[in-house]
Amino acid sequence: MSDPLLKIVGLRKHFGAVRACHNLSLEICTGETHALIGPNGAGKTTLLNLLSGDLKPDAGQIFLDNRDITRVPLYHRAHLGLARSYQITSIFPQLSVEENLLLAIQAHSGHSFRFWKKAVSDPQLRRELEPALERVGLEHRARDRAAALSHGEKKQLEVGMALACNPRVLFLDEPMAGMGPGGSVELGKLIAGLKQQMTIVLVEHDVEAIFSLADRITVLVYGEIVVTGTADEIRSSAAVREAYLGEEEPC
């Protein structure tokens, strides 16, 4: 494996007595697809939130390309190439599908103190819009309000927005949760295709999907790392079976 792109050192986040993330250290390499698994409440989403900047850690550091980004605010991390999707779908319900994607594109094409020209027909934005719509298969719903989409389509839109940011690192928080089997397969294909283009950190309950997609897997329990390794290593790890797989049937 090459140099670590993301380096996490001694990261800690407690919510009262709950240790959502406790002295956690981890390295994520350029180009790898890294999955986080663990039982409910293991702190997977918290770790993602700390990496993306949605939460501030109590202690510890996060490095991107050896640059300390621990204190870099959420909006700035996007410009460093971090993008994410949320577990609970987070879109702009009152805007149209194309406006949702347009905002993601607009975020990285200069400042938005432009008051006169219509954004939807701006050729600079438009150019990226078509492929962004196509990538998540929502061309036919471009003009519809995002609120009117089905659950699966919202998930697709959400991932599409993260992708439209042209990220170097993509954080996906349970992208397949609540999707029908067909949708999961579609999304799995999409993610598999992305593997070549960017580094992916994935939280997902669908173990089958993880074993087929992830290069390496980290198992979290109570905010701490139990083990990190390849799919085969994880499958055969006694510690994992004890802490996770044997104990609770993943849903």
Partner 1 sequence: MLLLISATLLLLLLPTLLGWLGEEYLISLASRILIYALVAVSLDLMLGFGGMVSLGHAAFFGIGAYVVAIFTHHSFDGSPVLSWPFVLPGLDGALVLWPLAILVSALLAAIIGALSLRTSGMHFIMITLAFAQMLFFFFVSLEAYGGDDGLSLFARNRFPGLDLSDDTHFYYLCLAVLGIFLLIAYRLVSSRFGMVIRGSRDNEKRMQALGFPTFRYKLACFVIAGAAAGLAGALIANHTEYVSPGLMHWTHSGVILVMVLLGGSGTLFGPVLGAATFLILEEVLAIYTEHWMLYLGPALILVALFARHGIYGILTGRERNNV
What size, in residues, is the chain?
251
Q: Is 116 a binder of partner 1 (CB under 8 A)?
A: yes
For the CB of residue 189, give the shortest distance to partner 1 in the complex, in Å: 25
Size of the site for partner 1 (CB under 8 A): 38
Output 158 or 206, the one with its CB closest to partner 1: 158
Which region holds residue 192: left if phi is over 0, alpha if psi is between -120 and 50, else beta?
alpha
Q: Using the rule CB under 8 A, is 239 a contact of partner 1?
A: no
To the nearest whole angstrom, how small is the minimum distance from the Cβ of residue 73 to partner 1? 8
**CA–CA distance, 34 with 32 (Å, rounded to integer):** 6
Binding-site member from 17, 40, 113, 140 for partner 1 (CB under 8 A)? 113
By beta-carbon proximity to partner 1, the closer residue of 23 and 166 is: 166
Instruction: Report in angstroms how near the CB of residue 140 gets to partner 1 at its nearest.
Output: 20
Distance, CA of 213 to CA of 39 (rounded, Å): 19
User: Which of 147, 192 has the CB closer to partner 1?
Assistant: 147
For position 216 contacting partner 1 by CB under 8 A, the verdict is no
Distance, in Å, from the CA atom of 205 to the CA atom of 190, rounded to the nearest integer, reads: 17
Cα atoms in the 13 Å half-sphere on the side-chain side of 47: 37
CB of 221 to partner 1, least distance (A): 27
Two tokens, residue 217: 């897997």
The CB-of-182 to partner 1 minimum distance in angstroms stands at: 27
Distance CA 116, CA 21 (A): 46
Is 88 among the residues that bind partner 1 (CB under 8 A)? Answer: no
Binding mask 149-178 for partner 1 (x = CB under 8 A): ------------x---x-------------
In sequence order, what are the residues at sequence separation of 6 or more whose Cβ sits closer than 8 angstroms to the Cβ of residue 238? none
For 105-130, b where at least 16 C-beta lie within 10 A, e where not — what string? bbbeeeeeeeeeeeeeebeebeebbe
Phi-psi region of 177 (alpha: psi -120 to 50; beta: other; left: phi over 0): beta
Task: Output the six-digit token pair for 31.
Answer: 């180009």
Listed ranges 3-11, 100-108, 199-207, 228-236: which one lies at the site for partner 1 (CB under 8 A): 100-108
Amino acid at site 150: S
Stretch that binds partner 1, among 13-21, 92-100, 131-139, 199-207 (CB under 8 A): 92-100
Work out which of 66, 118, 249, 251 binds partner 1, going by CB under 8 A.
118
Q: Where does this chain bind partner 1 (CB under 8 A)? A: 52-54, 73-79, 83-84, 86, 90-95, 99, 102-104, 106-108, 112-120, 122, 161, 165
